[in-house]
A and B are shown apart, each in its own frame.
Chain A
Amino acid sequence: MIRFEDVTFSYDGADRPTLDHVDLVVGEGELCVVVGPTGSGKTTLLRAVNGLVPHFTGGRLSGEVLVDGRSTREFPPRELADVVGMVGQNPAASFVTDVVEDELAYTMENLGLDPAVMRRRVEDALDLLGLHDLRYRPLGTLSGGQQQRVAIGAVLTASPRVLVLDEPTSALDPAAAEEVLASLTRLVHDLGLTVLLAEHRLERVLPFADSVVLVPGGGGRLNVGPAAEVMVDAPVAPPLVELGRLAGWDPLPLSVRDARRLVSPLRDRLVGAVPPRTVPVPDGPAVARLDRVTVRFGDVTALDGCDLEFRAGEVVAVMGRNGSGKSTLLGQLAGVRGPTSGRVQVAGQDPTGLSPRDLVARVGLVPQDAGLLLYGDSVAAECRGADHDTGLDAGTTAAVLERILPGLPADRHPRDLSEGQRLALALAVVLAPAPPLLLLDEPTRGLDYPAKARLVTLLGDLAAAGHAVVMATHDVELVARVATRGVVLAEGEVVADGPARDVVCQSPVFAPQVAKVLAPDPWLTVDEVRTALEVGAVRG
């Protein structure tokens, strides 16, 4: 269905090709996952499928990309719209219309489908993706996860034969992600849809994958094959695969179910080892508090009487399904807007009343669209600007960036970075001045596992140094590794608040993979298991 024949592609002005002699065949009805480190060229590979690369990006492409027998050389993206549906990394940027229903119908209108057919397919898509209540909503008022589902629905309605998705689940809560992936699998099974998707949250997609394409980055050769084989030595691996490598399982399990069948020897080795105790919530001084805070937008209540206190030394994970008020909560703490009623205090003051200079000394927020924070015309200029703004020593921000994502080209324009690289830069800009309260909205979107691990270390260090970190996230693996306290929001209300270990272990929706495999023992991460095994080996 998709065939790359000796494809080499380099962006204008790049000194080495992003794709180097790529040969790839994805068969009909296959669900193929593209994995690779941050900035390795996954997005470029995906965008080449419908010809956006090079028709819209410029650059030089040699070789041939064939989709359903049509070459992207002769057919521009618009002529492939009936065959390839493309969902980009930032769904909001791909919206053409302004209301959900119109957006779902847009591609069909261009293809000239019969109005009756369009009507039915729109209704089907609304049901399939649970969008019924949003059908007349302006797109600008949707939450990140809702936008993601609309974007997927908008290409599905045209019933393409190939679906290309760039990080389709990174903005979704675990349950919604599973729902979307389940619908994709259904389409693959029932309609023979071919799906090519890139994803960093491999724990979510690998159980559904037929094959895996590993893009090593730096123009290295692609490694294509069945998921269990490719993942054996892939530089990016979900916790389940790492656990499998640690325990020496062969073939590698890709789903929790597979792993549970293999787990008994490991369980025996862990007998007697004590899972780490619940980390006590640090008892530092309060950095910020919300008193009965309610926030309404029109007749939508985003936060409903929230009482929360954040203390120094805490890493708080705010979880909850899409649109449950997580981003609004962070926005309140950063003084982006004031509450409808109630009181928000950061370091004893109302954050909306602070001047920008005073604000940045108390609170740092990385918003969901991290690119908003970046104005420089190169990575180096951005870092210099951040140092200057907050009166840091020259090079501080660059050093923080180097800790999160080493080797980012300093002369690159932030716009030309990959989504994950941009996020890393924004994180560096906000983390460098080390404000007492750090707010991170989805801080791992587009980051690979090594970068995530470095971020975890950095956040741990900051918390140990007495900073309070509050992050809104759907990434349960991140929560398992770094959070000390978990807060779950639903419909704007706090429904759970307690030690992170308890909060994630008590709910199958939020439980990390390792916990699912080793349940009922409350192990959360591979590192915990590894340490326990090593201690056991020394003892034995």
Chain B
Amino acid sequence: MSRPTLAGPGRRGLHPGAWWLWAACLAGAASRTTNPILLLLLGAVVLYVAAARRTDAPWSRSIVVFLRLGLVVILIRVVLVIVFGNRLPGHVLFTLPHVPLPSWAAGVSIGGPVTAEAVLAAVVQGLRLAVVLVCFGAANSLASPYRLLRCLPAVLYEAGVAITVALSFAPELVMAITDVRAARRLRGRPVRGLAGLRGTAVPVLERALDRSLQLASSMDARGYGRRVAVARGVRRTATGATAGGLLLVVAGVYGVLVAGSLPGGGIPFVAVGAVLVGAGLATGGRRTNRTRYRPDPWGLPEWLVVGSGVVALTSLVVSGVLGVPGLEYVLSPLRPPTLPVAAAVGILVGLVPAWAAPVERTAPVTRVTPRTRPTDGAVPGAPAPVVTPTVVRGRTVA
């Protein structure tokens, strides 16, 4: 069987790992700058690619949620700065009445003059966090966490499940909220405002928890976590090596942090520990014999996508190391941000996936004609048709 190629017959769009690496690179890039122009540019690049390459799958909607979350983050930061005051000197926009606090709350102040600098700083910091959130949302939208999990090697699979459940929590929650809100409406209970929020939160969390329990039992019933018979000695060695290795790593890190506490500054401990953990995991991995159904291929588009992310990240890191002006937004004296051209061009390279990545399919390429295409069994007077359950259309209400 030949490997499916870029435009081949498979459904797979891009390798999910490529999407997540690309998003991680752009998120990393966002954390290297406070220049609002660059941050907005990054956000626009990520949103454009996500919009160009997302499918109509339910998880594709998660980017909208993350975008909203990002806006909320900015808002919260600004409100906090206005209320609790970040006493940056500068242009006073307005002054809130100062609330006197008891002496034990020294260091906290409520009200006072609000400067343009303080508000701007809050906006920029919130913006940075929002861009990171949007990157995460884009990765979620473009490749579901489950598909990412499929690509992990068997050794890491079990650890990966925990991560995946954590990652899939966000889209699950979004779907649960939609369902619960619709159902609450049907019960005639408020869905908006504080009462609505309170009434929705508990059932949503309950459902999420229920869903995890059902997922666990279903995975178990379907053979997840099966063990190949391995000699008890081997098993114990593997467990021992992993545990011992982890202990050594912890001790070593302590040595690195507290100078002079361990010979060699703790580095030998970390090294030996890491080797032990690796060996333990590899031996332990032999106990599971998972195989993979139609693994995602890694080809030219994947390299292009990851490469574009790396270019974006590198352009910012290098600019930072070289001390290119404009990467950090200096608030005093207050003036519009400048545009570091090299970094901006680097970020724009991040747009490559909008063209390089193949679109993921949700319908088969060659449409096989159903064996019988009944008009319908119930047309009065029609002869008894042989109805096949070949159904193409349809979705549930939610």
**Interface residue from A140, A179, A491 paired with B58 (Cβ < 8 Å):** A140
Residues of B within 8 A of A302 (CB): 393-395
Chain B residue total in the interface (Cβ 8 A):
83
B240 in the interface, Cβ–Cβ < 8 Å?
A: no
Segment 488-540 of A: residues with Cβ below 8 Å from B: 488, 490-492, 495-496, 498, 502-503, 506-510
What is the CB-to-nearest-CB distance from A329 to chain B, in angstroms, rounded to a whole number? 9
A257 in the interface, Cβ–Cβ < 8 Å?
A: no
In the complex, identify which listed stretch (A241-249, A357-365, A461-469) lies at the interface while the others stay far away: A357-365
Contact B186 A507 (CB under 8 A): no
Question: Beyond A324-B394, A356-B190, is A132–B368 a contact (Cβ under 8 Å)?
Answer: yes
Contact B394 A322 (CB under 8 A): yes
* Chain B, Cβ-Cβ closest to A508: B384
Contact A133 B363 (CB under 8 A): yes
Question: Beyond A138-B362, A359-B188, A496-B379, is A79–B389 a contact (Cβ under 8 Å)?
Answer: no
What is the CB-to-nearest-CB distance from A523 to chain B, in angstroms, rounded to a whole number? 19
B3 in the interface, Cβ–Cβ < 8 Å?
A: no
Segment 200-230 of B: residues with Cβ below 8 Å from A: 202-203, 210-211, 213-228
Contact A137 B363 (CB under 8 A): yes
Question: Beyond A113-B291, A115-B291, A133-B364, is A492–B378 a contact (Cβ under 8 Å)?
Answer: no
Among B191, B214, B378, B384, max chain A CB count under 10 A is at B378
B152 in the interface, Cβ–Cβ < 8 Å?
A: no
**Interface residue from B190, B223, B362 paired with A110 (Cβ < 8 Å):** B223
Contact A158 B223 (CB under 8 A): yes
**Contact flags (1/0) for B376-393 with A, using CB distance below 8 Å?**
111111101101111111
* Chain A, Cβ-Cβ closest to B150: A102
Contact A323 B393 (CB under 8 A): yes
What is the CB-to-nearest-CB distance from A204 to chain B, in angstroms, rounded to a whole number? 14
B325 in the interface, Cβ–Cβ < 8 Å?
A: no
**Interface residue from B214, B364, B378 paired with A93 (Cβ < 8 Å):** B214
**Contact flags (1/0) for A336-379 with B, using CB distance below 8 Å?**
11000000000000000000110111011101110011010000
* Chain B, Cβ-Cβ closest to A106: B222
Contact B378 A297 (CB under 8 A): no
Residues of B within 8 A of A155 (CB): 222
What is the CB-to-nearest-CB distance from B63 to chain A, in angstroms, rounded to a whole number? 16
**Interface residue from B179, B219, B363, B382 paired with A372 (Cβ < 8 Å):** B179
**Interface residue from A50, A502, A510 paired with B377 (Cβ < 8 Å):** A510
B236 in the interface, Cβ–Cβ < 8 Å?
A: no
* Chain A, Cβ-Cβ closest to B382: A507
Contact A76 B378 (CB under 8 A): no
Contact A143 B395 (CB under 8 A): yes
**Contact flags (1/0) for B153-190 with A, using CB distance below 8 Å?**
00000000000000000000001000110111111111
Assembled-state Cα–Cα distance A361/B186 (Å): 10
What is the CB-to-nearest-CB distance from B209 to chain A, in angstroms, rounded to a whole number? 10
Contact B290 A112 (CB under 8 A): yes
* Chain A, Cβ-Cβ closest to B222: A107
**Contact flags (1/0) for A206-220 with B, using CB distance below 8 Å?**
000000000000000
Contact B199 A328 (CB under 8 A): no
Residues of B within 8 A of A111 (CB): 223, 226
Assembled-state Cα–Cα distance A361/B398 (Å): 22
B104 in the interface, Cβ–Cβ < 8 Å?
A: no
Question: Beyond A79-B226, A133-B368, A360-B188, is A323–B378 a contact (Cβ under 8 Å)?
Answer: no
What is the CB-to-nearest-CB distance from A361 to chain B, in angstroms, rounded to a whole number? 7
* Chain A, Cβ-Cβ closest to B190: A356
Question: Beyond A81-B221, A93-B211, is A509–B183 a contact (Cβ under 8 Å)?
Answer: no
Contact B378 A143 (CB under 8 A): no
Contact B384 A509 (CB under 8 A): yes
Question: Beyond A52-B221, A356-B189, A495-B378, is A138–B393 a contact (Cβ under 8 Å)?
Answer: no
**Interface residue from B199, B218, B387 paired with A94 (Cβ < 8 Å):** B218
B95 in the interface, Cβ–Cβ < 8 Å?
A: no
What is the CB-to-nearest-CB distance from B360 to chain A, in angstroms, rounded to a whole number? 8
Instruction: Give the tally of cross-chain contacts (CB within 8 A).
Output: 296
Residues of B within 8 A of A176 (CB): 387, 389, 391
Contact B370 A130 (CB under 8 A): yes
Assembled-state Cα–Cα distance A94/B217 (Å): 8
Assembled-state Cα–Cα distance A520/B290 (Å): 58
**Interface residue from A55, A113, A356, A491 paired with B184 (Cβ < 8 Å):** A356
B292 in the interface, Cβ–Cβ < 8 Å?
A: yes
* Chain A, Cβ-Cβ closest to B376: A490
Contact B214 A119 (CB under 8 A): no
Assembled-state Cα–Cα distance A135/B379 (Å): 30
Chain A residue total in the interface (Cβ 8 A):
120
Assembled-state Cα–Cα distance A492/B392 (Å): 11
Residues of A within 8 A of B224 (CB): 78, 96, 110
Assembled-state Cα–Cα distance A430/B390 (Å): 34
Contact A133 B392 (CB under 8 A): yes
What is the CB-to-nearest-CB distance from B215 to chain A, in angstroms, rounded to a whole number? 7
Assembled-state Cα–Cα distance A158/B295 (Å): 18
Residues of B within 8 A of A149 (CB): 389
Residues of B within 8 A of A172 (CB): 389
What is the CB-to-nearest-CB distance from B13 to chain A, in angstroms, rounded to a whole number? 10
* Chain A, Cβ-Cβ closest to B289: A112
Residues of B within 8 A of A322 (CB): 389, 391, 394
What is the CB-to-nearest-CB distance from B135 to chain A, in angstroms, rounded to a whole number? 21
B232 in the interface, Cβ–Cβ < 8 Å?
A: no
Contact A389 B188 (CB under 8 A): yes
Segment 390-423 of A: residues with Cβ below 8 Å from B: 390, 415
Contact B218 A300 (CB under 8 A): no
B235 in the interface, Cβ–Cβ < 8 Å?
A: no
Assembled-state Cα–Cα distance A146/B393 (Å): 10
Contact B290 A99 (CB under 8 A): no
Segment 49-74 of B: residues with Cβ below 8 Å from A: 55-59
Contact A50 B221 (CB under 8 A): yes
B103 in the interface, Cβ–Cβ < 8 Å?
A: no
Assembled-state Cα–Cα distance A331/B175 (Å): 17
Assembled-state Cα–Cα distance A97/B227 (Å): 21
A88 in the interface, Cβ–Cβ < 8 Å?
A: yes
Contact A320 B376 (CB under 8 A): yes
**Contact flags (1/0) for A108-135 with B, using CB distance below 8 Å?**
1111111110110010000001101111
Assembled-state Cα–Cα distance A488/B294 (Å): 40
Contact B183 A373 (CB under 8 A): yes
Residues of A within 8 A of B385 (CB): 509
Residues of A within 8 A of B227 (CB): 79
B146 in the interface, Cβ–Cβ < 8 Å?
A: yes
**Interface residue from A109, A334, A508 paired with B186 (Cβ < 8 Å):** A334
**Contact flags (1/0) for B106-141 with A, using CB distance below 8 Å?**
000000000000000000000000000000000000
User: Which residues from chain B sit less than 8 Å from chain A, CB to CB?
Assistant: 1, 11, 55-59, 144, 146-147, 150, 175, 179-180, 182-191, 199, 202-203, 210-211, 213-228, 288-295, 361-364, 367-368, 370-371, 375-382, 384-385, 387-398
14 A-B contacts (beta carbon < 8 Å): A56-B217, A78-B220, A98-B57, A108-B291, A114-B291, A130-B391, A145-B389, A158-B222, A360-B186, A360-B187, A360-B188, A363-B186, A373-B183, A375-B187
A-B pairs, 3 with minimum CB distance: A323-B394, A360-B188, A81-B223
Q: A96-B215, A119-B294, A136-B363 are in contact. List 5 more A-B contacts (CB 8 A).
A: A52-B220, A82-B223, A143-B394, A488-B376, A496-B378
